[in-house]
Amino acid sequence: MQPQEVIRRKRDRRPLTTEEIRGFIAGATDGSVSEGQIGAFLMATWLNGMEQREITDLAIAMRDSGRVVDWSGSGLPRERIIDKHSSGGVGDEKITLIVVPLAAACGVIVPNLSGRGLDYCAGEHDMLDAVPGYDTTPSPERFTAAVRDVGGVIIGPTLDLAPADRKLFFVRDVTATVESVPLITGSIMSKKLAVSPTGLVICVGSGSGAYMATIEQARELATAMAEVGAGAGVSSVMLLTDLDCVLGTTVGNAVGVVETVDFLTGRERDPRVLELVLAIVAEMAVLAGVVADAAEGRALALARLEDGSGADRFGRMIAALGGPADFVEDPARHLPGAAVERAVLPSRAGFVAGMDAKEIGLALVALGGGRKRPDEVIDFGVGITHVAAVGAPVGPDAPLCVVKARTEAEWEAAAARIRAAVRVTDAAPAPLGPIVRETLHRSAAPA
């Protein structure tokens, strides 16, 4: 396989063979394909797309770039192993951190492989790297032991699980090649299939904060992922979500971890985050066979949230992978902060009518909380908190948000960008519709 030939074919809109895709991904993983060639391949794919057969080949080749977890012999009931993922959205990354321990508290087993920040969306892997001592790339033995002990654990792609995604991710992050059905499908499904679940719940967002601009594009992405899953024997539920504004109240790494703990412990719960979390955990519980239907799953998830068992599992997950044993009591004490922390006031009083959430995600990148180069070290302590929800009144005493920055100049730049991104009107806007706009069920293909 000559990498330039594969790139040329994709550039010229010709479908790639299974062998070409497998060869290119193997080369990207072992380093024989250069970062420049990976970038060119990604852009050609972004521009010209792939047919479903190529998408499936890409996802399977990326999965097979590493080990596929074999749970036999682990003592874990295979039918209860269910994973979740999100196709990305500004503020959405904390949902995995909430859902994994909560689903575990409901009896679902969740070995979760998540990604780093990607372009303007933060990522679970980075968020957990902000926690001192937490091992996001554990050995296979440590990962299995943590899943067995806690029931739900989040890690990143390791050197042996979906390593091709790790390679491609670094390049996609900084080459404007994220918003692509084949590339997102390959990235997500390679990680999901590497941990051998029997079912999957994936949130596929659309709107200004998501990689998919419209619900039609989200549906296309959901269908492509469900197809890959079904072919591999994995049933899926795709929740098409409305991500036209920041999800929850924070955007960033350490701040998102604090929002997670506040949510799980009940210190503060954003209503849209609650609505989404209950919907996801309910579907996971149904797939795991723990409950009969989504209504029962929702009630179970709410009960486990209220009785503190979700927070307890989160604390156990942190400790199992090397983080502080008392993390949940006071997470901010363990996390990095920022030198400048001040509220951003709107240029006029009124109500938040909407926002360009992507711009707010890009403000985080500019603050140093995301990457502009693959090898950039990010600052976990910067971030955006107290984001005013759509419909909230704003004015001299009611800020748009709080920005945590390294310097005054970076704070000023972020504040200006956020002010420009948020639409403020005199009259209160109509309330937002439900966060889950559609639910697509797909059973695994019969063996």
The residue ranges that bind ligand URA (CB under 6 A) are 87-88, 115, 118, 184, 187-188, 191
Alpha helices in 355-434 (DSSP H): 357-364, 408-421
Catalytic residue among 22, 94, 172, 358: 172
Alpha-carbon span 295 to 278, nearest angstrom:
10
Q: How far is the CB of 421 from ligand URA (least distance, A)?
A: 22
Shorter beta-carbon distance to ligand URA: residue 187 or 249: 187
Residue 85 annotated in active site: yes
Q: How far is the CB of 86 from ligand URA (least distance, A)?
A: 7
Going by C-alpha positions, the residue among 380, 434, 447, 14 that lies closest to residue 231 is: 447
Shorter beta-carbon distance to ligand URA: residue 97 or 311: 97
Shorter beta-carbon distance to ligand URA: residue 115 or 252: 115
Alpha-carbon span 370 to 382, nearest angstrom:
10
Side-chain-side CA neighbours of residue 401 (13 Å): 32
Alpha-carbon span 310 to 236, nearest angstrom:
23
Q: How far is the CB of 165 from ligand URA (least distance, A)?
A: 7
Angle made by CA atoms 30, 33, 38, in degrees to the nearest 5:
115
Residue 165 annotated in active site: yes
Q: What is the DSSP letter of 376?
A: P
Shorter beta-carbon distance to ligand URA: residue 87 or 249: 87
> Exposure of 26 by Cβ count < 10 A (0-12 exposed, 13-18 middle, 19+ buried)?
middle
Do 47 and 175 contact (CB within 8 A), yes or no? no
Do 233 and 79 contact (CB within 8 A), yes or no? no
CA distances (Å), origin 40, targets 11, 31, 170, 172: 9, 15, 14, 10
Catalytic residue among 165, 173, 312, 379: 165
Q: How far is the CB of 136 from ligand URA (least distance, A)?
A: 14
Question: What is the biggest distance separating any 2 CA atoms in the chain, rounded to whole angstroms?
Answer: 63
Q: How far is the CB of 420 from ligand URA (least distance, A)?
A: 26
Catalytic residue among 114, 187, 190, 236: 187
Q: How far is the CB of 411 from ligand URA (least distance, A)?
A: 29
Residue 187 annotated in active site: yes
Shorter beta-carbon distance to ligand URA: residue 82 or 286: 82
Q: What is the DSSP letter of 392?
A: -
- Here the tokens at position 134 are 């937490």
Q: What is the DSSP string of 56-94?
A: HHHHHHHHTTS-----TTS---GGGBEEEEE--BTTTTH
Residue 190 annotated in active site: no
Shorter beta-carbon distance to ligand URA: residue 115 or 399: 115
Radius of gyration of the chain (CA): 21
Q: How far is the CB of 60 from ligand URA (least distance, A)?
A: 16
Q: Which residues, 6+ apart, have CB-to-CB distance to 12 below 8 Å? A: none
Shorter beta-carbon distance to ligand URA: residue 209 or 346: 209
- 113 forms bridges with which residues in the sheet? 155
Catalytic residue among 80, 85, 125, 358: 85
Q: What is the DSSP letter of 210?
A: B
Phi, psi for residue 352 in degrees, rounded to 5: -70, 120
Q: How far is the CB of 114 from ligand URA (least distance, A)?
A: 7
Shorter beta-carbon distance to ligand URA: residue 184 or 318: 184
Question: What amino acid positions are annotated as catalytic residues?
Answer: 85, 165, 172, 187, 191
